[in-house]
A and B are shown apart, each in its own frame.
Chain A
């Protein structure tokens, strides 16, 4: 089942912070975060694994609450380059390597 992202869209001024949430109704093994700019491929940002292991971008942080089956992506001191659509992708505990993606959160950073 597809994870649900919130909010659907965010507009920020440069330097402001944002939080994007991803919730699943199923038990999760891992959560992957990507950013996609229009017409381009998704770019990897962060992976969070059950048990607390994280790998990712130095300037972006995220959390993974296994019990609540939720993850949040924290974007601090936003820059114009942060604009794009953010997707969370989830791995269930029982499935194969496929990622099930949320519907996306569109972030626009204005000068």
Chain B
């Protein structure tokens, strides 16, 4: 009974490189959420996706960040031209439906930008 899977668990990038973070939701869950947690801070919503649709991207920075959840395969959070301020833990969560259902979190990807 696999939970939310994220990979890689740790990612080191140099400034200007691209970071790709992957999230496989719980089997049967069609709703995926991405949250960012800066060191010693709380969780900040970034984007909410369903299969092939972005439902709410109000928490995404306007530039360099994008997300997708294709019909087949994991959800991807992509950060282009990373900067030191992008260093954070990125958590993915999934739920079978929205609002009334628990969001189950993955283990996170810890991104370090040198």
Contacts and interface: CB of A to CB of B under 8 A. Distances in A.
Contact residues on B (Cβ < 8 Å of other chain), bracket: 20 to 34
Interface in A33-51: 34, 40-44, 47, 49
The number of chain A residues touching the other chain, given as a range, is 20 to 34
Contacts, number: 66
B25 interface: no
B107 interface: yes
Interface stretch (B63-71, B73-81, B97-105): B97-105
Most buried by A among B31, B44, B102, B108: B102
Interface stretch (A12-20, A58-66, A69-77, A91-99): A91-99
Interface of B: 31, 33, 35, 41-45, 48, 55-56, 58-59, 91, 95, 97-108
Interface of A: 2, 29-30, 32, 34, 40-44, 47, 49, 55, 87, 89, 91, 95-104
